[in-house]
Structure 1
């Protein structure tokens, strides 16, 4: 499970903490789960918040599973008006446990809030030594194992690992796509799970059984052959009344989006998505049938030199070989792979490789999710949509006009970059393995960039006229 965050000011750590806690408490054996938090801001505040969250998780996760709590993000659970919901225990024991848990969460929230008002810690000692003399865009790699399921017990907590990849001013970091590729390599060395879930730091797990829902779609005989990823549509728990800025994505989710699902599958939305690791590593649907594209031969990774996509770490290459065969073969403990993890998270590790071009999350657009999903679909893979009830994940919508405008601008820029690039779906039916209708679906999505900014400005026009007491209609001179 990957959680990405980049700025503790724009993305408050308490939101990230709630997302992490909701993921660690999902209904699935804990020894088969690992949560990796990527902090691209290299913030000691974020690290401190996760340290405190790890302590609280030892109370929160058992509480949720013992009493079958359905809403497992603490800030949402304790914000409800009613003390209990349908299906929850109403006994005196539960009420006392709930009150105790609420007090503990308030302590956690106050600690993080107090820390955000000052420096944490002030002397940068102990666990925080790694953050001394660091800048947001200039710092070495920092990897911290915060929780480890040492006994491999399903009743314990999942692994929790903090990662802040190396950054240097002269080396491109490729934004979120670069962070996701580092998470893929580090997790491949430490746990090497065949499936990867990625969520944004503000998209908490709203349905505790979402992993089971996704596995039902991924592990069927038919879908094992051709399904690359399972996408859960984005829904939000807040937002302005009547949604004037279109942040709830109603048209896309309820109408056009579900229509696209019936063609080749939904496009990758960047969050709430379950990926097959071997697909991210560049596997094709017909790999086992076509010798030219096969990477596995007699248990060894072949043609790595010609593909040149996995770097120079032999330990990582071995993990790739096992992943492409469907084996995890993870080490007995996380610490044994820590040195190699630092190596593969270096800012120079991807030089002279195919990372971001043929394998991994694609580079070349600020909307790396659409570009990556397009690259996967063009290989012939399909995707599936998961729509459980209640919704799988819920996120935080932009709070107002300026934030919405910034987001729309970023989307529009990224979509236009793809539209005019060599990966444009305009060439999909000629040089790619896309269905014609899928090409049309992607073209509809990409040309949305040409409409989004004018539509948004038009939505803001009435408010501007009211605030400035002006209008754009020509004045008519009375006779």
Structure 2
């Protein structure tokens, strides 16, 4: 945990606040919970080691109880590795007004990656590019790089049009000090402007810029229509292309430039790395590593902002806020990155798919910020360029070692010595020789025989390159900070369909499971400079998909035991019942507190998070783990499918109506629907059995679990029986699930056999 005195705010660049009361309450809860778990384990062990006189009854319970105990041990492990995030919660405040003059600020390179214009609409990508160009930062110390992994002509055309429109947008946004610097977001909500700037002059200039914006939009839409399908879709076989976008790039009569704004334009660079079918391209990690190399010989700024192509800058001050940490001598020597939260402009209040991870940012990331800091989460992160190179640049550079690790480019090796030397790249002419070198750095053969993706840059052979890379970097001693200002600094487009959420989840959780099954699992990885609590945090992240075991157990085994009269928990009158009840009830109340108190969400959001955890456990946690295993066995190759960022009115309608859209694969639906139908059948059959045979006290806990499962499953039940729309669960899916339920009910007999 960080420990230093706080300077006067009139001189300091940032202030850290430790939430002592919250920490004490969390610690007290943690100790009480541990005591309850110990009591629970004692109860289970007494059953196994001290047999009752009724041996037949003991043998009847043995198999389900040993399985219950195993699941409870797994649950306790997952709970325990999560606790460090609750013990040292800190928040930070920055003071950009205390930064040095602009001429003394370090430079920033912005990396934006896009792959497929069909899934990632070009116009939205260009709005992200323009918002990055509009940051409140000296233009000569800001460069924006767009990686187009598809090599699509519409993207190259779009970035030229974006630069042309930016010559109008940048002077307008800076002249009136606009808070919303993404033009699309600004013109969608034109009234969200401070009243003091709504003058006649403002409205006059806004009208002019809006006309240019509409023309900019129309030109891109027209080009998309003109291009045939083959030339619009992405190419997996194309040469490298690196082009600096400026007034020379704009064709005559294509767009009208504001020539007076040329001097205030940051550098904009288009990069399409070489793609060949015979070479691995390593997905987003490969694209980011290409940008690292290309930018190093063009601008070579000390810090890098990584953005998703749909995550636009929502506030112009984010760069200055991040630099407050990098220039703070108390933490800067080992500071690897500054992470901002991911927030979204298309999220509803209750967020039925938990796309914004409501608890993660204000609770978990605030807690881990008190240790060595949070992981890189793919976007909204400012990164120290030196952290990627894996070499001790400050104490001299071994040229042989540098070439073995980084490749044979002399210009690139030379750039390592020029990081943080502002005058080395700002006014440097981008000559044809330099561009030729940039093309070489973007070729698919450059990395051959080097350490790229292994010890240098973003790591390869994983889908979760962001989390995995930050795990390696923090193992080397780099630390990070988390900053969550009141105004969202970045806004993106979240998945608002069940199908996209589950497909995206398979990719993420399969990547996490891959780390669990590798030598890089945090508890065992060596050498590591991470503390034990930081290791526990990474273990929790990578072990997320293992939750499928817990969900499968609670969805199927307790209901079946309830139906056949097999008690898994103590009687209500048994003193040990209090320990089980405390573990269950306090977990729910803690989660509810995180949602309602710390995250500011409604109670319905808590219900939705519970529901989506169950849904994920029965689908993407499970399938992600299976996909990881078969990939490791060599049965299939590692693949990456970009998330579809296209929003349509139909899916948006169901999301805003807070109705689940079940138009997805039966591979996802059948386990979910089967679990619901099984719980319904077992609850009815179990209650009927209790009415005849009694023993309510012994079966009370399992009855409550079944009722809880059905309450959480109401959207599924509604889609099965009460809805009759395009987004409901198909009748064929329900029938197949009922058949599987009957098979599982017959399997219940196995639990009562000796």
TM score, norm. by length of structure 1: 0.87
TM-aligned CA deviation for residue 236 of structure 1: 0.9
1:364-393 C-alpha deviation (Å, 9 max, x unpaired): 210100011111100011101122231211
Residue aligning to 1:13: 122
Separation of aligned partners in 1, 2:531 and 2:461: 23
Q: CA deviation at 1:49?
A: 1.1
Match of 1:219 in 2: 327
With 135-144 and 86-95 compared, the bigger mean Cα shift is at: 86-95
Aligned to 1:270: 378
Which of 455, 469, 475 does residue 615 from structure 2 map onto? 455
- How do residues 62-461 of structure 1 correspond to structure 2 at under 5 angstroms? 62-80=171-189, 83-86=191-194, 89-119=197-227, 136-147=235-246, 155-240=263-348, 242-283=350-391, 287=392, 296-297=395-396, 301-305=397-401, 308-323=404-419, 329-330=424-425, 332-336=428-432, 337-428=434-525, 431-451=527-547, 455-456=615-616, 461=672
Alpha-carbon shift at residue 172 of structure 1 (Å): 0.4
8 A contact 2:173–2:181 mirrored in 1: yes
Paired residues of 1:419 and 1:446 also in contact (CA < 8 A): yes
Q: Distance in 2 between matches of 1:25 and 1:281?
A: 29
CA distance in 2, matches of 1:163, 1:307: 23
Change (3 A) 1:382 1:162: same
Structure 1 pair 329–447 and aligned structure 2 pair: CA distance change class (3 A) = same
Q: Tell me: CA distance 1:98–1:312, structure 2 relative to 1, closer, same or farther (3 Å).
A: same
C-alpha separation between the residues in 2 aligned to 1:352 and 1:360?
15
Q: Provide Cα deviations, 1:407-464, integer angstroms capped at 9, x if missing partner.
A: 1111111111222222220214x53111100010001111112337853366875545
Distance in 1, Cα, partners of 2:423 & 2:395: 15
Do structure 1's residue 56 and structure 2's residue 165 form an aligned pair?
yes
Whole-angstrom CA distance in 1 between matches of 2:468 and 2:225: 39
CA distance in 1, matches of 2:228, 2:243: 17
Give the deviation of 1:89 after TM superposition.
Answer: 0.9
Question: How many correspondences in the alignment?
Answer: 449
Partner Cα separation in structure 2 for residue 16 and residue 135 of structure 1: 15
Bigger shift: residues 386-395 or 30-39: 386-395
Does the 8 Å contact 1:19/1:205 carry over to 2?
A: yes
Cα shift readout 1:75-108 (whole Å, capped 9, x = no counterpart):
111111x535226512111111112211211111
Matched residues in 1 for 2:501 and 2:492: separation?
A: 14
Q: Which moved more, 1:154-163 or 1:68-77?
A: 154-163
5+ long unaligned stretches in structure 2: 1-109, 249-260, 549-612, 619-659, 663-671, 673-712, 722-733, 743-754
Seen in structure 2, the aligned counterparts of structure 1 residues 138 and 373 have a Cα distance that, compared at 3 Å, is same
1:306 Cα deviation after fit: 7.1
Q: How far did 1:405 drift?
A: 1.1
Q: Indicate if the aligned counterparts of 2:353 and 2:496 stay in contact, CA closer than 8 A.
A: no
Q: 1-side partners of 2:264 and 2:246: how far apart?
A: 10
RMSD across aligned positions (CA): 2.7
Provide the C-alpha distance between the structure 2 equivalents of 1:77 and 1:343, rounded to a whole number of angstroms: 39
Any idea what the Cα deviations from partners look like across 1:339-366, whole Å, max 9, x if unmatched?
Answer: 1101111101001111111111111210
For the 8 Å contact 1:191–1:328, the answer to whether it is kept is no
Describe the SS at the equivalent of 1:263. coil
Do the aligned residues in 2 keep the contact of 1:361 with 1:372 (CA within 8 Å)?
yes
Q: Distance in 2 between matches of 1:282 and 1:164?
A: 25
Residues 44 and 121, structure 1, Cα contact 8 Å, conserved in 2: no
Name the structure 2 match of 1:466: 718
Q: Tell me if structure 2 keeps the 8 A contact 1:142–1:164.
A: yes
Question: Secondary structure of 1:3's partner?
Answer: strand
Q: Distance in 1 between matches of 2:406 and 2:123?
A: 35
Query: Could you state the TM-score of these two structures normalised by the residue count of structure 2?
Result: 0.56
For residue 250 of structure 1, give the secondary structure of its aligned residue in structure 2: coil
Q: Distance in 2 between matches of 1:343 and 1:316?
A: 11
Shift, 1:173, TM fit: 0.4
CA deviation vs aligned residue, 1:318-356 (integer Å, no higher than 9, x gap):
112322x75662262123520110111110100111111
